C-alpha cells in the first residue's frame, strides 16, 4: 500500500505543486493519475521513489516513511518506466533488461529465467531480441523493453510516467492491453501518469483526477462516468465520452455469447472479458485483426468479431 499524508510541495520559485494531498493507493491495483498540465500528477508519483521530496507531509510505502529509507535501496524495489524509455544505447537488450537484477546480485540463471519470461509476456522472442541494441528496435519494441527492465527486478510497485504517449496508435493500443494483462497476472501495484482520458478509462482500476495540486475525485472508471463530482470533472472527462460510455453501458465482452470456434479464426488477439464493447471495436479496427478470443482468468469464453460487437451496440441485447 502507498499512502500520501497531507503532502505539500513548494518549489524554489514559489510554485505550489501539491497542496495538502492525502491519498491511499491499494496494493495490486493499477491506479491512474490524470489531470491538466501542471496539476501535480507527476510530482506526486515521483515522491513514491524519492525523485521528489515533500515540503511537508509524509509518503509511506508498505507502512514505512520513504524519507527513512535509503533512496538507492528504495529505487531498487520500485520499477520505473518513462516516456523517453531511457534505454542505454551502448548496451544490448539483455544488459538493459538485467540492470536491476545485476544490482541485486542475482545469479545468471535467475536473471535469465526472469528476463526470458518477461520478454515472452510482452510479445518479444528473447532468442531474437536479447542480442539486439536499442537503435535496432522500433519505438514500440523499445518501450516493451522498458517495461521488461522495470519488471525484471520483481518489484512490488511500478511507476509509469506517460509511457505510451509518443507511440503510434496501434503500438499504444497493444501496450495498453499488455500492461493491463501483465498487472492482472503478476499482481503489481502500478501507478500510471497520463494526460489521455481514454487511456485512463481503458486500463485503470482506479482513476485519480487532479487539478491545481489537489485531488478533485477518485473512483473507478464506471464511478467517474456515472457520477462526476463537479463540473470540472465532467468537463475533463468530456460529456460526449460520458454519454457514449453510458449508452454502451456496462456491457462487457463477457456479456456476449461467443459464437465462433477456434478453428475458424485466422487472426485474433486475447483480451480480458471485462473490457467494454467500444474498446473491443476500437481494438479490432486499429490492429486490423478479425476477432478476439475472450478470456476470464484462465477460462476461454470464446470468440467475438466486429459484426457481433456492432450488433450488440445497436440492439443492446445479448448476441446469439
pLDDT one-digit tens code per residue, 152-162: 989 999 999 98
SS (HEC) of the chain: CEEEEEEEEECCCCCEEEEEEEEEECCCCEEEEECCCCCCHHHHHHCCCCCCCCCEEEEEECCEEHHHCCHHHHHHCEEEEECCCCCCCCCCHHHHHCHHHHHCCCCHHHHHHHHHHHHHHCCCCHHHHCCCCHHHCCHHHHHHHHHHHHHHCCCCEEEEECCCCCCCHHHHHHHHHHHHHHHHHHCCEEEEEECCHHHHHHHCCEEEEEECCEEEEEECHHHHHHCCCCHHHHHHHCHHHHHHHHHHCCCEHHHCCCCECHHHCCCEEEEECCCEHHHHHHHHHHHCCCEEEEEECCEEEEEEEHHHHHHHHHHCCCCC
pLDDT for the residue 121: 86
Angle, CA of 301, 303 and 306, to the nearest 5°:
140
Cβ neighbors of 14 (< 8 A, separation 6 or more) are: none
Domains of the chain: 2-244 (3.40.50.300), 253-315 (3.10.580.10)
Q: Which residues contact 138 (CB under 8 A, 6 or more apart)?
A: 171
Name the band, by pLDDT with cuts 50, 70 and 90, for residue 288: low
pLDDT of residue 311: 63
Share of the chain above pLDDT 70, in %: 87
pLDDT, tens digit (0-9, with 9 covering 90-100), for 71-124: 988 988 899 988 766 789 999 999 999 988 998 899 999 999 999 999 988 888
How many whole angstroms separate alpha carbon 86 and alpha carbon 311? Answer: 44
Please work out, in degrees rounded to the nearest 5, the angle formed at the alpha carbon of residue 22 by the alpha carbons of 220 and 221.
Answer: 10
Amino acid at each position: 500500500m502507498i499512502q500520501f499524508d497531507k503532502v505539500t510541495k513548494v518549489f524554489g520559485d514559489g510554485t505550489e505543486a501539491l497542496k495538502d494531498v492525502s491519498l491511499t493507493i491499494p496494493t495490486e491495483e493499477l491506479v491512474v493519475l490524470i489531470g491538466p498540465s501542471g496539476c501535480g500528477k507527476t510530482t506526486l508519483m515521483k515522491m513514491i521513489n524519492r525523485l521528489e521530496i515533500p515540503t511537508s507531509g509524509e509518503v509511506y510505502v508498505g507502512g514505512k516513511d520513504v524519507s527513512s529509507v535509503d533512496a538507492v535501496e528504495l529505487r531498487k524495489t520500485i520499477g520505473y518506466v518513462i516516456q523517453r524509455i531511457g534505454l542505454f544505447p551502448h548496451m544490448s537488450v539483455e544488459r538493459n533488461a538485467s540492470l536491476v537484477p545485476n544490482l541485486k546480485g542475482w545469479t545468471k540463471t535467475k536473471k535469465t529465467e526472469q528476463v526470458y519470461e518477461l520478454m515472452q509476456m510482452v510479445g518479444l522472442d528473447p532468442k531474437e531480441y536479447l542480442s539486439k541494441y536499442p537503435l535496432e528496435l522500433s519505438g514500440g519494441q523499445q518501450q516493451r523493453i522498458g517495461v521488461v527492465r522495470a519488471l525484471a527486478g520483481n518489484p512490488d510497485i511500478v511507476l509509469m510516467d506517460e509511457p505510451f504517449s509518443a507511440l503510434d496508435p496501434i503500438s499504444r493500443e497493444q501496450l495498453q492491453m499488455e500492461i493491463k494483462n501483465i498487472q492482472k497476472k503478476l499482481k503489481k501495484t502500478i501507478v500510471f501518469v497520463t494526460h489521455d482520458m481514454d487511456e485512463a478509462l481503458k486500463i485503470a482500476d482506479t482513476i485519480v483526477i487532479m487539478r491545481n495540486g489537489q485531488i478533485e475525485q477518485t473512483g473507478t472508471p464506471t464511478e467517474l462516468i456515472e457520477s462526476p463530482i463537479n463540473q470540472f470533472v465532467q468537463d475533463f472527462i468530456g460529456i460526449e465520452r460520458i454519454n457514449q460510455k453510458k449508452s454502451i453501458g456496462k456491457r462487457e465482452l463477457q456479456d456476449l455469447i461467443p459464437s465462433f470456434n477456434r478453428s475458424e479464426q485466422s487472426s485474433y488477439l486475447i483480451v480480458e472479458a471485462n473490457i467494454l464493447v467500444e474498446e473491443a471495436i476500437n481494438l479490432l479496427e486499429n490492429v486490423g485483426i478479425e476477432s478476439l478470443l475472450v478470456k476470464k482468468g484462465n477460462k476461454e469464453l470464446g470468440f467475438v468479431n466486429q459484426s457481433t460487437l456492432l450488433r450488440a451496440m445497436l440492439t443492446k441485447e445479448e448476441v446469439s
